[in-house]
Structure 1
Amino acid sequence: MTQTHLAIILQTTPPANDFMDVIVLAILSVVVIILAGMTGRVNMGFQVPGFPRPLSSERKEILRKHFPFYKQLTPNRRKRFEQKVQYFIHVKEFIPRQIPKVTEEMKVLISACAVQLTFGYPKVFLSHFKRILVYPDNYYSTINQTYHKGEVNPRLRAIVLSWKAFVAGYFNSKDGRNLGLHEMAHALRLENLITNAEFNFLDEEVLQHWQFLADQEMANIANGNSTMFRDYAATNPDEFFSVAVENFFERPKKFKSLMPNLYAILVLLLKQDPINPV
């Protein structure tokens, strides 16, 4: 090889540093694209193993038509809501009971209900409860030999719902009765106590303040002096919390007007305010 040929080769071969820069840039580009797809910012047309797809246009349409909480959110918060709904659907097993299958509408709206309650906690998905059992109507429990509209069973890691009662809860959104929110509130309280990745997320000091005010209101209900909650709320602290959650989302202005301190504590506890959802 002549010196002239060697000089030409040296001039046309890219420096090692430049070559490595190209490789690093290419790797970073691939990582960014994958992360964008995993977070739902870009629909890549395929699914990354272990991660859900972005919420489909069909599922978004279900939310737009049937879920008022979603419709009042800002565009950025809608995106967050969609991501949580999709992940909830992805990680739960929806099991039909006395119906042929759990439909897309059922999956989306039940998941949206759970996300509505946990929206202030981006990393809380009620992970202990792996199964969502859906009945068409009230169902008979062989355990306590009575009919139920819904229940939460931590031993079976299941949330059980009557679809008819679930729909009725959102159809009349101003009466302070919502089966879905009621049962999800039970699951939330239990999730906070069960040792797992989502353990102990509710602020202990706020919980203590909540219980102090709740005990006072339960006494008012027992004495017939409550103008906000139905009598069932006085059954025990767990039922009081669930009934309070129903009213928190369905009648927030009345709740705040009649019980400003209790309402303010629930805002802190759930890290959201239905009156000012943005």
Structure 2
Amino acid sequence: MQDSSDVIFLAILSVVVIILTGVSGKVNMGFQVPGFPRPLSAKRKEILKKHFPYYSQLSPNRRKRFEQKVQYFIYVKDFIPRQIPTVTEEMKVLISACAVQLTFGYPKVFLSHFKRILVYPDNYYSTINNTFHKGEVNPRLRTIVLSWKAFVEGYIHPKDGRNLGLHEMAHALRLENLILNTEYSFFDEAVLQQWQSMADLEMQNISSGKSRMFRDYAGTDSDEFFAVAIENFFERPEKFKSLMPNLYGILVLLLKQDPLNPV
């Protein structure tokens, strides 16, 4: 879930981020960081093997690349516990793997604007709009917020088209593409325009109750449609491609990966 008013501040934020990235350095697999890259530890690999099917279906070479991206994502993010003693290794690895799953087609994209990941044990109360949330993305605070319970439920039920982690990371990815920093404008503009045209048509179907693929929430706005589409893209790719081959194909081009052909 995303506060639409945050988008208004992106232009101002962009200038600030350019200055900050100039000081802190680029978040980029091509840059050498002292003590990095280190291989993903055996413990972290075991967490991926046990709990993250996307990783397990990759070829050995692509698995190594996935591990490197997960390791780097953990390295550059601040994981902050809320109402829990600590953010555990399992939490760090699986949340990072979720982000890497979505960005795997972009080796140098790490959602660099979002420095902080807040983890709550369950739904949390937001004083911004006085409601309970499962997750949100706040570009002003450079923060992604997740309910761990809701995050885990998204992977326990991997075929229902509902995945909190992918949903919130999709919001972050869409925003990251707009913010002027070292990861700015990585989406192909022509493909993005095609996506938006098709999305607008499908949102009309949703509003009139004619969609065979997406839940009603996807019709809220283009940001929520993108996030819900991402959930279905990874969790129900066969159905997505069967019912909406053109929209599915555009998403393959946009994300530079195909869940039906992961290797």
Q: Any conservation in 2 of the 1:248–1:255 contact (CA below 8 Å)?
A: yes
Q: Note if 1:266 corresponds to 2:251.
A: yes
Match for residue 230 of structure 1 among 215, 233, 244: 215
Match for residue 253 of structure 1 among 220, 223, 238: 238
| Structure 1 partner of 2:145 | 160
Looking at both structures, which has the greater relative contact order when contacts are Cα pairs under 8 Å and sequence separation is at least 6?
2
| Structure 1 partner of 2:78 | 93
Q: What's the CA shift for 1:51?
A: 2.1
Unaligned 5+ segments in structure 1 are: 1-38, 40-47
Match for residue 178 of structure 1 among 141, 157, 163: 163
Aligned-partner Cα distance in 1 for 2:214–2:100: 24
- Whichever of the two has the greater Rg, that structure is 1
Q: Note if 1:110 corresponds to 2:95.
A: yes
SS in structure 2 at match of 1:193: coil
| Structure 1 partner of 2:21 | none
SS in structure 1 at match of 2:79: strand
For these two proteins, the number of residue pairs brought into alignment is: 233
| Structure 2 partner of 1:215 | 200
Q: Which amino acid is the alignment partner of residue 151 of structure 1?
A: E
| Structure 2 partner of 1:189 | 174
Q: Which amino acid is the alignment partner of residue 207 of structure 2?
A: A
State percent identity of aligned pairs: 83
| Structure 2 partner of 1:147 | 132
Q: What's the CA shift for 1:52?
A: 4.1
Aligned-partner Cα distance in 2 for 1:105–1:252: 27
Per-residue CA deviations over 1:43-97 (Å, capped at 9, x if unaligned) read xxxxx72524210000000000000000000000000000000000000000000
SS in structure 2 at match of 1:247: helix
| Structure 2 partner of 1:36 | none
Please give the root-mean-square deviation of Cα atoms over the aligned residues, in Å.
Answer: 1.2
Match for residue 36 of structure 2 among 44, 48, 51: 51
Match for residue 46 of structure 2 among 53, 57, 61: 61
Per-residue CA deviations over 1:93-148 (Å, capped at 9, x if unaligned) read 00000000000000000000000000000000000000000000000000100000
Aligned-partner Cα distance in 1 for 2:188–2:167: 20
Aligned-partner Cα distance in 2 for 1:96–1:159: 12
Q: Note if 1:239 corresponds to 2:217.
A: no
TM-score normalised over the length of structure 1 = 0.83
TM-score normalised over the length of structure 2 = 0.87
